Amino acid sequence: MVASGEAPIDPLAEATYTRAIMQRCKVCEASLTKEEKECLNCGTKVWEPPKSDFKTKGLAVIKWFFLFSVAWSALTLFTPWGGSFITSISVTFVLLLVRSSWNEMLAGRNE
């Protein structure tokens, strides 16, 4: 019942607000706030999605360039299209080194 002068409470809006500031433990279904990093009931760590930044996106781009370069090198090996095989395999090798060093850089940052 709504007192005079008060706005009625919308249950859908209240549920949306509660979900925005609360979350549930995946193991015991206990309520957790957004700031809690560990469940108080069972002690399970709360999963946080990895933050995507330039370094991880750049690694994905380098990986796709590398895979394209491998396919292009195979194409130049068996067909007359696409230029020199030596050039293609050199580019593939350089991209392999770049991808490897990018992985090392990301591994050093996560430690």
- For residues 68 and 14, which has the higher predicted lDDT (pLDDT)? 68
Span 19-40, mean pLDDT?
78
Domain boundaries, the chain: 7-48, 54-110
Kindly state the DSSP code that residue 6 receives in the 8-state scheme: S
Q: pTM above the 0.85 mark?
A: no
Query: If you average pLDDT over residues 20-34, what whole number do you get?
Result: 78
Q: Which residues pair with 45 in a beta bridge?
A: 38
**23, 32 Cβ separation under 8 angstroms:** yes
